[in-house]
Amino acid sequence: MAQVARVEQQPAATGSTLVVMVGLGVAFLLFMAFLNVVKSGNLLNDSNLLYAALIFYVGAGTLYLAFGITGTPSYIRFASLSTWVGLLATTGAVARRWYEAGHPPFASIYEMLLMFVWTLAVLTLVAEKKYGVKVIGTVTMPVAIVGVVLMQLLRTEVHPLVPALQSTWLHVHVTLAMLAYAACALSFALAMMFLIQDKMKTETFLAATSLFTVATYVGVLTRFEKWGGLSVVAWNPEEKSEVFLSKGVRLFVVIPDLGWMLLLVLAAVAAPSVLYLIWRKTHDVRLLDTANKAVFLSILLQVMALLFFVLRARDGRYTSLDADGLFQTSLAASPFILSGIVGGIFVSLLYLLLLWRRDDLQRMLPSADELDRITYKTIAIAFPLLTLMIAAGAYWANRTWGSYWSWDPKETWAAITWLVYAGYLHMRITRGWRGRLAAYFAILGFAVVMFTFFGVTYLLPGLHAYA
């Protein structure tokens, strides 16, 4: 009751201050961008449209987050307005690209990212308007922002389609994949919300957050070099592509001191889980307070590491252990590190949001039963889509390579994803799994989806070289 009162007492003035500030920021950035555009004389190309989309997504993300923290209802109105405008700009970019290329934009990683951002913005609005899950923008907007930033760095010219990709079945396959993965992402977000509504302890979220970030930074730090540097893939700015020593062997450059920085971050994100473990033994509540402070500290450190990485990756040339000379690199060369750090910051922020505003969140979200049901329903949509996606891919492969199934890693992982969700459905239907167990399974399923989508492309070799 006290929580409700507090939210309602928020003076309207503070609410509008932030909206005005964000509005002014957006207007200022647009104006600056407009000056540049007038100079170049080319108003509606896709990079301008995407820049506009980026500005509006940043505005929307800020407001969604502010809504999550303060619960002021006016934020959400302006946040969705901003998302709408951003979506409009993205749609323009998609349409322009489609028109220019003469085929739907599914052929390169750039175009896939474009479609991904578009789908994400649409889903955000759908989830908000149709299901009343308002805080979802807090999660999706930052992801959209990272997507747009990455796109700025990738090769943008319209590529002619190589012969193997000139097939309607490809478009069917990719569209189904995007829809299925988006549905999986939604089921994941809903499962997380279920856990919040299911009175899962905040400490457990603390441990999960800490474990996730530790895993992320351990993954990033596998490229730690002896003198405190970090190996990053070299990047050829003219070609806008990675530098290869030979077929399939990438050239790495070492960014000095970045390794130390990330090691420090790792220590900071590991601290909460250590404190959590000690708390499990001693039940000393002060330990949890310290752990929460450590999360806050770790966010600051992660932001610093991100800035450091962004600045160093953009400018300068670095030595390589594999070849003589100095080479450049770029953010686009290392989407792993970038999304790792952004993901880490983001998950920690979400934890803080949960820690501070749990009651408000619980009030805003649908009930646990309802979330459990919606999670199941999204998977009931995702699973047939996954099935059809695999089938369309197999049919296309059969027409192109003469074999519908060749066990290449992407295919195999798509099948694994399918099996995981099949397992979920069996346990739910025959064993009556509800609640926690089902939610964990939905989270696992989405982790596998993410690995199939990103991990296989960057870590494992195979036929799916285009995406």
Binding stretches for other proteins (CB under 8 A): 159-164, 166-167, 373, 380-381, 383-384, 387-388, 391, 394-396, 398-405, 407-409, 412-413, 415-416, 419-420, 422-423, 426-427, 429-431, 456, 460
Taking the C-alpha atoms of residue 106 and residue 110, their distance in angstroms, rounded to an integer, is: 9
Closer CB to other proteins, residue 309 or residue 396?
Answer: 396
**CA 336 to chain CA centroid, nearest Å:** 11
Which one, 149 or 164, has the nearer CB to other proteins?
A: 164
Q: Residue 460 CB, nearest distance to other proteins (Å)?
A: 5
CB of 132 to other proteins, least distance (A): 16
Strands 249-250, 244-246: pairing kind: antiparallel
Q: Are 194 and 375 in contact (CB under 8 A)?
A: yes
Q: Which C-beta is closer to other proteins: that of 278 or that of 381?
A: 381
Q: Measured from the CB atom, is 17 or 398 closer to other proteins?
A: 398
- Please classify residue 279 by burial: count the beta carbons closer than 10 Å to its beta carbon, then call 0-12 exposed, 13-18 middle and 19+ buried: buried
Q: Are 396 and 167 in contact (CB under 8 A)?
A: yes
Neighbours of 423 (CB within 10 A): 13
Rounded to the nearest 10 degrees, the angle between the axes of helix 2-9 and helix 335-364 is: 110
Q: Please name the amino acid found at residue 237.
A: P
- Nearer Cβ to other proteins (352/422): 422
Residue with tokens 């039963």: 369
The residue (of 28 and 405) whose beta carbon lies closer to other proteins is 405
Tokens of 197: 């509504």
- The dihedrals phi and psi of 226, each to the nearest 5 degrees, come to -55, -45
Question: Closest approach of Cβ 107 to other proteins, in Å?
Answer: 12
Neighbouring residues of 139: CB distance < 8 A, sequence distance ≥ 6: 189, 346, 350
Q: What is the CB-side half-sphere exposure of residue 168 using CA atoms within 13 A?
A: 0
- Give the shortest CB-126-to-other proteins separation in angstroms: 19
Q: How far apart are CA 218 and CA 2, in angstroms?
A: 42
Residue 28: CB atoms within 10 Å? 11
* Minimum distance, C-beta of residue 42 to other proteins, in the bound complex (Å): 21
Residue 371 CA to residue 449 CA, distance in Å, equals 21
Q: Which of 241, 261, 250 is nearest to 312 (CA)?
A: 261
Report the residue number, 211 or 380, with the smaller CB distance to other proteins: 380
Shortest Cβ 1–other proteins spacing (Å): 29
Structure tokens at 124: 């955000």
In angstroms, what is the minimal distance from the CB of 414 to other proteins?
Answer: 11
CB of 413 to other proteins, least distance (A): 6
Q: Shortest Cβ distance from residue 407 to other proteins (Å)?
A: 4
Give, for 318, the enclosing helix (H) or strand (E): strand 317-319
Closest CB to other proteins among 64 and 383? 383
Q: How far is the CB of 412 from other proteins (least distance, A)?
A: 5
Strand, helix or coil at 238? Answer: coil
Compare residues 98 and 260 and give the one whose CB is closer to other proteins: 98
Straight-line distance from the first to the last Cα atom of the chain, in angstroms, rounded to the nearest whole number: 51
CA distance linking residue 168 with residue 219, whole number of Å: 38
For residue 47, the tally of other CB atoms under 10 A from its CB is 13
H or E stretch at 293: helix 285-314
Of 149 and 391, nearer to other proteins (C-beta) is: 391
Nearest distance, CB of residue 392 and other proteins, angstroms? 9
Which of 17, 406 has the CB closer to other proteins?
406
